[in-house]
């Protein structure tokens, strides 16, 4: 059984993430999308861990061999605990590569795990959750970059923030 993990913060999930997860689901028997739920980073997030998990579960529903899980601590520990030998990462640009190479080498020095890089689809090469949030905050149209259920929650959360507080 070839099992892989697609890790990330997914704050929120974008069409770029879904593209990588769906392509990974064709390469591996099972794919676990693992969301970092590190409490120390919670205040930096727009969505709570539960909200991010819920959106990812909706996004991954069309792929029967994909499941969603939260993880705290080291990704390599999660891999060991779940019998996972492959980490799948999307590469958008050379700027991603420097960091991802270092991380891949560190992870394989810690446990028996390989990192598999999947090149971004050209239409998503500029896409990152942080940029989606920034553009949406200033009223830009991100409807082609995230699924409709994410757009709905994003619009609501940003409106709450602008009104001063709820959901923070
Ligand atoms: P962000 O989306 O802000 O980069 P994440 O931590 O949620 O942050 O991303 C998780 C992983 O998903 C990234 O490390 C990268 O491998 C992949 N990824 C994210 N966006 C894209 C994209 N547009 N194309 C390809 N891979 C992507």
Mutation test residue for ligand 1: of 5, 10, 11, 16, the one with most atoms within 8 Å of CB: 16
Residues constituting the chain? 168
129 Cβ closer than 6 Å to some ligand 1 atom: yes
Average pLDDT of the chain is: 94
The pLDDT, as a whole number, for residue 93 is 86
Going by pLDDT thresholds of 50, 70 and 90, the confidence category of residue 168 is very low
Please give the Cα distance from 69 to 101 (Å, whole number).
Answer: 24
- 3-class SS of residue 82: coil
Please give the Cα distance from 47 to 70 (Å, whole number).
Answer: 14
> Which of 28, 19, 27, 3 is CA-nearest to residue 145?
19
**What atom of ligand 1 comes closest to residue 88's alpha carbon?**
16
Please give the Cα distance from 27 to 85 (Å, whole number).
Answer: 13
- 3-class SS of residue 16: helix
Please give the Cα distance from 63 to 26 (Å, whole number).
Answer: 9
**What are the angstrom distances between the C-alpha of 84 and each of 28, 45, 99, 124, 155?**
11, 27, 22, 27, 36
Domains of the chain: 3-125 (3.40.50.620)
Please give the Cα distance from 11 to 52 (Å, whole number).
Answer: 6
- The pLDDT tens digits for 49-80 are 999 999 999 999 999 999 999 999 999 999 99
- The pLDDT tens digits for 20-45 are 999 999 999 999 999 998 888 888 89
């Amino acid at each position: 059984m070839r099992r892989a993990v697609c890790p990330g913060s997914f704050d929120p999930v974008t069409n770029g993430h879904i593209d990588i997860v769906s392509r990974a689901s064709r390469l591996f028997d099972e794919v676990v999308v693992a969301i970092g739920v590190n409490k120390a980073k919670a205040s930096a997030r727009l969505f709570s861990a539960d909200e991010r998990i819920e959106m990812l579960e909706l996004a991954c529903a069309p792929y029967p061999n994909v499941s969603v899980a939260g993880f705290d601590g080291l990704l390599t520990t999660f891999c060991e605990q779940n019998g996972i030998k492959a980490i799948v990462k999307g590469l958008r640009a050379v700027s991603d590569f420097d960091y991802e190479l270092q991380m891949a080498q560190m992870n394989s020095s810690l446990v028996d795990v390989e990192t598999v890089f999947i090149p971004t689809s050209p239409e998503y090469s500029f896409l990152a959750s942080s940029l989606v949030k920034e553009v949406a905050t200033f009223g830009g149209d991100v409807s082609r970059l995230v699924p409709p259920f994410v757009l709905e929650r994003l619009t609501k959360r940003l409106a709450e923030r602008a009104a001063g507080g709820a959901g923070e």
